Chains A and B, each alone.
Chain A
Amino acid sequence: MSVSSSTEGREWPGDEKAVARFLGGDPTGFEQIVRHYSGMVFALAARLVGPWEAEEVVQETFLRAWRGLETFRGDASLKTWLYTIALNRAKARLGTLARMRKVFASPRASSEDDQPWPGEEAPDLSASPEDQAVALEQRARLRKAIRNLPEEFRHAVVLRDLEGLSYDDIARVLSVPIGTVRSRIARGRAALVEELS
């Protein structure tokens, strides 16, 4: 019986049920939300601010989500809503980091884009070590090019090409018209092509 209830607590019941459970005073509702979405939010945060700062962004995102879940209306998916919060937290975090780097002149900002991310492996383990090194370098170069994009283009490209969101969802997350989303994605991609060519 206890195993059954434990299994129930770990299974993802869906956005509506999890939110309703939380709003009904059951803390396991929010725990389920965290368990289901924390990885996705971390991935987005890592792509926006880097893996070393991403966990801080995720923590703040879910704290804000806990506080504001009562205002979640359900007209968008919970994932889109969490992404909106995470994007704003990432922007704030980048602003803080930029100020700190200005004060302390940290060399990490310029070097972290060139490093492989934690746990990252070569794309093709059967390839020679030289090819693996080249592949890793190309990834790092691509990430650096993304990080160097203007913020509005970067957000659009990341949400579309890395997170796979639809144009409609991107428009909700960024709070812009869908035509603007199309334009930003196209211009962002074009800028990346120029950067990497």
Chain B
Amino acid sequence: VTGDLDLLISRSLDGDLPGEEERELQSLLAADPTARARYDAMAALVGRLEALPEPDSPFALATRINSQVEADTKGLTASLHRFGFYFRPATLGVVAAGIVAVVIASAVMSPQRPSTTVAAAKSPVAKAAEAPDDGRVNVFFSETEKEQKAKKDLAPAQAAPAPAGEAPAAPARVDAGSRSNDAKGRVRQEPVLVASAEAPRPKEEVSFAPERDAPALAASAPAPAAADESVAEGATMQKSVAPETTRLRAAAPQAAGAVRGSASLEVVGKTAGALRPAPPVRLDGLVGPFEGTYRLELDGSGRVTDVARLFGGSGSEPSGLPARLKGLSFAPADAARAAGSVDVKVRLP
């Protein structure tokens, strides 16, 4: 009842009551002092509300608003406004800061991915060539019984290369990660070249079984001249033919007294890791023990143009070593072009 009375009083005060309802209300107010008091209180309230002064506008409010509107509706902001977006500069700043924070957080929290190239992704051969990034190629020579005998019998003829015709086919093994000679290779009658290209991933290790692979290899390794090329070819084929096993044609037989054990060439200095020697690395036939460091000047394609021995080292330098080094080339070409030179350490046991 009070609510209805308040509504009637309120409408009456605003002149919203039709004539008949207004008359009924007036007669009610005349008869009921409580209703009359309610009417008076509400009328007084309305009077007080209407008497409240209008707040004074701040000085130059319109000028400031116009300036603000003009500033906020220029350029990109105006375009955004036209399309229904409303961004205050502070909002844009917060959004930009949020984007930067997300980028930084994602960069910090996500693990680094191994770098790759389009060529590496497309070609297994290119992938194989890119795999040994430590820039070091180790060449191992295993002694066979015949070689051991020749070592005893033909000591004076150390430097003389063996005739090509006397070099029967022999398997060569590219054994990444393994520096030991293959025991099965020892039973063969010819020297076995075991070249090791160290690869960072164990799953790319390859193995060779002479008794299984020799017949197939025997027919395709006739000449020592082709040996180094076949080593290179094998190294290229290493991962392209099959991920686990690669066949390599026989290396050339070594002259008695030639390099024994393992000869190694290692990229050192500031380009270590960035450059690697491109196969073939021809260190066979060089007599050690010797250890020395060389600075190799490179042309734009990574080929060695000049060789200079750096101070230090041990042993006497084999006479053919500078020429062998001059026959090397290094990859990748763009890194070689950028470097201009590369320092290598050669060890001949």
Residues of A within 8 A of B (CB): 27, 30-31, 34-35, 38-39, 42-43, 46-47, 51, 54-55, 58-59, 62-64, 66-67, 117-121, 123, 138-139, 142-143, 146, 157, 160-162, 164, 167, 182-183, 185-187, 189-190, 192-193, 196-197
Q: Which residue of B lies closest to A55 (CB)?
A: B58
Docked complex Cα distance between A139 and B50 (Å): 11
Which residues of A have CB within 8 Å of B2? 190
How far apart are B56's CB and chain A's nearest CB, in angstroms?
4
- List chain A residues, Cβ under 8 A from B49: 142, 146, 157, 161-162, 192
User: For residues 296 through 341 of chain B, which have their beta carbon under 8 Å from a beta carbon of chain A?
Assistant: none
Please name all residues of chain A whose beta carbon is closer than 8 Å to the beta carbon of B10 when the two chains form the complex: 182, 185-186, 189-190
A66 to B73, CA, bound (A): 9
Q: Which residues of A contact B62 (CB under 8 A)?
A: 31, 34-35, 38-39
Does B187 reach chain A (CB closer than 8 Å)? no
Q: B65 to A58, Cβ gap below 8 A?
A: yes
Q: How far is the CB of B57 from chain A (nearest CB, A)?
A: 5
Known contacts A64-B86, A190-B6; A42 and B46 CB within 8 A of each other: no
How many Å from the CB of B321 to the closest CB on chain A?
A: 77
B residues 105-129 with Cβ under 8 Å of A? none
The 3 A-B pairs with the shortest beta carbon distances in the complex, nearest first, are A186-B10, A161-B49, A46-B55
Q: Tell me the complex Cα distance, A137–B23, Å.
A: 38
Chain A's interface: helix, strand, loop or mixed, by majority?
helix
Interface string of B44-77 (1 = CB under 8 A from A): 0110111111111110011011101110110000
Is the C-beta of B274 less than 8 angstroms from some C-beta in chain A?
Answer: no
Distance in Å from the Cβ of B34 to the closest Cβ of chain A? Answer: 13
A55 to B41, CA, bound (A): 34
> With A42-B61, A186-B7 in contact, is A62–B69 under 8 Å at CB?
yes
Chain A: minimal CB distance from B50 (Å): 6
- CA separation between A123 and B48, bound complex, in Å? 11
Give the chain A neighbours of B57 by CB distance below 8 A. 38-39, 42-43
> Would you call A54 and B46 a contact (CB within 8 A)?
no
Partner of A38, one of B3, B6, B54, B65: B65
A187 touches B86 (CB 8 A): no
User: How far, in Å, is A56 (CB) from chain B's closest CB?
Assistant: 10
6 residue pairs A–B, Cβ–Cβ below 8 Å: A119-B55, A123-B53, A161-B50, A164-B50, A182-B11, A186-B3
Q: Which of B7, B42, B51, B66 contacts A193 (CB 8 A)?
A: B42
Which of A35, A64, A67 gathers the greatest number of chain B CB atoms within 10 Å? A67
Contact A59 B68 (CB under 8 A): yes
Q: A167-B16, A186-B6 are in contact. Are A192 and B45 (CB under 8 A)?
A: yes
Q: Indicate whether B149 reaches chain A with its CB closer than 8 angstroms.
A: no
**B69 proximity list for chain A (CB < 8 A):** 30, 34, 62-63, 66
Whether B235 sits at the interface, judged by CB under 8 Å, is no
Least distance between B69 CB and chain A CB atoms (Å): 5
B61 nearest CB neighbor, chain A only: A38
In the docked arrangement, what's the CA distance between A164 and B46, Å?
A: 11
Contacts of A189 in B (CB 8 A): 6, 10, 42, 45-46
Which residues of the other chain, A, contact B64 by a CB distance below 8 angstroms? 55, 59
The answer on a CB contact under 8 Å between B42 and A42 is no
Bound state CA distance, A54 and B81, in angstroms? Answer: 23
Q: How far is the CB of A31 from chain B (nearest CB, A)?
A: 5
Q: Of B38, B45, B68, B81, which one neighbours A196 at CB under 8 angstroms?
A: B45
Q: How far is the CB of B268 from chain A (nearest CB, A)?
A: 61
Cβ contacts under 8 Å, A120 to chain B: 53, 56
**A190 and B68 alpha carbons, distance in the complex (Å):** 41
CB–CB A182/B7 < 8 A = yes
Nearest-neighbour CB distance to chain B for A53, whole angstroms, equals 12
| Smallest Cβ-Cβ distance to A185: which chain B residue | B10
Is B81 in contact with A142, judged by CB distance below 8 angstroms?
A: no
In contact, B55 and A47 (Cβ under 8 angstroms): yes
CA distance A189 to B41 in the complex (A): 10
Partner of B11 from the list A54, A118, A186 (CB cut-off 8 Å) is A186
CB atoms of A66 and B81 under 8 A apart: yes
- Whether B56 lies near A187 (C-beta < 8 A) is no
Indicate whether B82 reaches chain A with its CB closer than 8 angstroms: yes
